[in-house]
Chains A and B, each alone.
Chain A
Amino acid sequence: MVSRIAAIMIKEFFHILRDPRSLAIIFLLPIIMILLFGYAITFDIREIPLGLLDHDRSTESRALAQSFAASGYFRIVKILSNPSEIETAIRRREIWAALVIPADFEKSRQTHAVQVVIDGSNANTAIIIGNTAQALLLDYSLTRLQTPMNPLFRIEPRILYNPALKSTNFIVPGLVAVFLLMVCALLTSITIAREKETGTLEQILVSPITALEIIIGKTTPYIILGFLVAVAVLIFAKVVFSVPFRGKPLELMVLSLFYIYASLSIGVFVSTRVRTQQVALMVSLVGTLLPSIFLSGFIYPIASMPHFLRILSLVVPARYYLQIIRGIMLKGIGFNELVWYAAVLFLFGSVLLGISIKSFQTKLEG
């Protein structure tokens, strides 16, 4: 048994090493993605280009505009002189929002309607701009009250684990989850499908090998490769973005094994059901990578999903692994708190692998 598994494993390592381009992609892709997420696709918004249409031109109105600029969230880039210029400037993307101060802003002591016109073409930033402007106005009106007073209640948020709310801190663990899955599920399904396609599987099947031996032999190299990719991503993230690592690396490694196990089971399952590499690639992409990005809580919180998608997310292994890896890296928690997630992953993998081994007979027909 050992000799036959070794035969497949050794051969598989040769395949990986003899294809340096694919190997480079496997390591470079996650690093490029981290750079993109880290530098370009940031969800933190600073210095939003703001247009100012000040009908009042008073000390008071200038003070309000100044408070916006001083907050750091906005930068006044354009002084507008009439309302029609707002839309033109937004269309040209010179400004993302405009602050419109009414003519009697200083004189009148009634509640004023200060208008904020926002470019809604990007819904995410529009919401953030709206909220930020709201908060700044509230702040300003409290400080300018005739009789200074303190509000009855005030929320004083204290954000744990990621106090600066840096996107990279929560993106990097998610990327590790996605890439482990990619290496384990996608590559495994392709490599088994390739042997079907080229006919080499037929040659292997006529030896006294068992389905389990083929599966162990073919997946082990990708487990190792997946581990190396994960370590490379984490080291890179630590060095370049100083992403924190508060828990124990060993605990992360051990718990990651359960996720790798679940991912491999998907790859093997897919490969038992398709005949060509192309189909394997498509099925793995649509069936694993997309849910891991969109349904796992990687980017969009599961709690804000429609009921149906929340149910669907229960069978996305990345959902559980994200709890594990974010928990260990950002919160510094460990086995005690996370063992249940690992158990779910183990169950998921065992069920899928069981079905696969049953249907992966050493025969050519169904």
Chain B
Amino acid sequence: MKNDLCIEAVGKRFGAVQALNDVSLNIRPGELFGLIGPDGAGKTTLLRLLTGLLSLDEGGITVAGHALPQELGVVRSLVGYMPQRFSLYPDLSVVENLLFFARLFRVPSDQRHTRMQRLLRFSKLEPFTRRRAQALSGGMKQKLALSCILMHTPQVLLLDEPTTGVDPVSRREFWKILRELRNDGVTLLVTTPYMDEAEQCDRIAFLHQGTIIVEGDPRRLPDSYPAPLVEIRCTDVVRAAQILQDSGAAESVQIFGDRLHVVMTSEAHTSEPLREILRKRGIAVETIRQVDAAIEDLFVHLIRSHP
């Protein structure tokens, strides 16, 4: 089965707000695709369009060869959708939630048990089968939610910020599960506001204010970064950022925790002038070195150049 996703020139508006504008994506069968973007970029809207929860204003969508909205019923039986908010029943146990989804998707009763056991093993929820969903930790809840939508073995998975509010260890574990599913041939479209999760994907697209501004392999995308990038470790990063910003020697300055990422103006060839500027204002520079841009830098740059 060709379980791909075709999104062509999709537009959606809510009243005066253009939530999505001319969005086109081709997600290949068996691909783990990341849709990255800040809150309000339109990620959830796109997933809701893909599940027919919202209707299209412009453009077309086909899921595994079935067009929306004409073949909504077929699409819904093929797709597993995990909304952003935890939407299982808190007063039902792990097993009861799984069985609910099995019945909802008409999983034949002779297969329910084996599938459930497999998913419980897969998500490491076996010891908690009788626990109510409300008593699970954030990470376990997300794994249960994923297991529930896997009960009907969907060929396409749409996950809306599945790792938001989940601790770092569980997040890594969750992504491991997603990669395993990808290896089994499932097509996954995952949204996330976390830049570091982008690198876990085969391909990513960056959505900003309803428009896709860049798309590609997360390992190669940063190479397209246009200017030299310098990382500075120093005291008082906040004041240092301000000083460099005002000095005119830097195109832009970003604070990353205890470090600064400085985009040099294109005519600058070394980072030495920066050290000098900071030293004059009484800021001690620990290290200063040219670095390769990360995805995060690219996105920040793209957002700036996209008014």
User: What chain A residues lie within 8 Å of B77 (beta carbons)?
Assistant: 207-208
| Complex CA distance for A362 and B48, rounded to whole angstroms | 12
Within 8 A of A (CB), among B32-53: 48, 51-53
Residues of B within 8 A of A200 (CB): 87-89
Residues in chain A near residue B102, CB distance under 8 A: 7
For chain B, residues 86 to 117, give those with C-beta under 8 angstroms from any C-beta of chain A.
86-89, 91-92, 96, 100-106
How distant is B145 from chain A, measured CB to nearest CB, in Å? 8
Per-residue B-contact encoding for A1-27, CB less than 8 Å = 1, 0 else: 001101110110011001100000000
Interface residues of A (CB under 8 A from B): 3-4, 6-8, 10-11, 14-15, 18-19, 198-200, 202-209, 362-365
Question: Which B residue sits closest to A198, measured CB to CB?
Answer: B87
Chain B residues contacting A14 (CB-CB under 8 Å) are 89, 91-92, 96
Tell me the bound Cα distance from A365 to B101 in angstroms.
24
In the assembled complex, which residues on chain B have CB atoms less than 8 Å from the CB atom of A205? Answer: 53
Give bound CA distance, A15 to B133, whole Å. Answer: 13
Interface string of B153-185 (1 = CB under 8 A from A): 000000000000000000000000000000000
Contact present for A363 and B55 (CB under 8 Å): yes
Is residue B73 contacting chain A, with contact meaning CB distance below 8 A? yes
Q: Would you call A11 and B53 a contact (CB within 8 A)?
A: no
Question: By CB atoms of chain B within 10 A, which of A15, A199, A203, A363 has the most?
Answer: A203
- Residue of A7, A19, A198 touching B100 (CB-CB under 8 A): A7
- Do the beta carbons of A11 and B100 come within 8 Å of each other? yes
Q: B222: CB under 8 A from chain A?
A: no
Q: Are B54 and A364 in contact (CB under 8 A)?
A: yes
Complex contacts, B53 vs chain A, CB 8 Å: 202, 205-206, 363-364
Check if B96 sits within 8 Å of A208, measured CB to CB. no
Within 8 Å by CB of B104, from A7, A198, A364, A365, lies A7
Given A11-B100, A363-B52, A365-B54; A208-B105 close (CB under 8 Å): yes
Q: How far is the CB of A13 from chain B (nearest CB, A)?
A: 11
Of all chain A residues, which has the CB nearest B73?
A: A208
Q: Is B306 on the interface with A (CB-CB < 8 A)?
A: no
- A28 CA to B48 CA in the complex, in Å? 43
Let me know if B83 is at the binding interface, CB within 8 A. yes
B275 CB-CB contact with A under 8 Å: no
- The B10-67 residues at the A interface (CB cut-off 8 A) are 48, 51-55
* B280 partner residues in chain A, CB cutoff 8 A: none
Known: A363-B54, A364-B48. Is A202-B104 also a contact (CB below 8 A)? no
A10, B55: Cβ atoms closer than 8 Å: no
Q: Which of A7, A19, A200, A206 has the most CB of B within 10 A?
A: A206
Query: Which residues does chain A contribute within 8 Å of B100, judged by CB atoms?
Result: 7, 10-11
Q: In whole angstroms, what is the CA distance A3 to B112 when docked?
A: 13
Q: Determine the chain B residues whose CB is within 8 A of the CB of A4 once the complex forms.
A: 103-104, 106
Q: Whole-angstrom distance from the CB of A202 to the nearest CB of chain B?
A: 5
Q: Are B54 and A18 in contact (CB under 8 A)?
A: no
**What's the least CB distance linking A276 to chain B, in Å?**
15
Cβ–Cβ contact A11 & B105, under 8 A = no
Which residue from B79, B83, B89 sits with its C-beta under 8 Å from A202? B83
Q: Do B55 and A365 touch (CB < 8 A)? A: yes
Query: Do A11 and B89 have beta carbons less than 8 Å apart?
Result: yes
Taking A209-B104, A364-B53 as given, write out 9 further A-B residue pairs in contact, using a Cβ cutoff of 8 Å, ordered by the A residue number.
Answer: A3-B103, A7-B102, A11-B92, A14-B96, A199-B83, A200-B88, A205-B53, A206-B51, A208-B73
State in angstroms the CA–CA spacing of A296 and B54 once bound together: 42
A18 and B76 within 8 A (CB) = no
| 25 A-B residue pairs with CB within 8 Å | A3-B103, A3-B104, A7-B102, A10-B100, A14-B91, A14-B92, A15-B91, A18-B92, A202-B83, A202-B85, A203-B82, A203-B83, A203-B87, A204-B104, A206-B51, A206-B79, A207-B76, A207-B104, A208-B76, A362-B52, A363-B52, A363-B53, A363-B55, A365-B54, A365-B55
Nearest chain B residue, comparing its CB with the CB of A7: B103
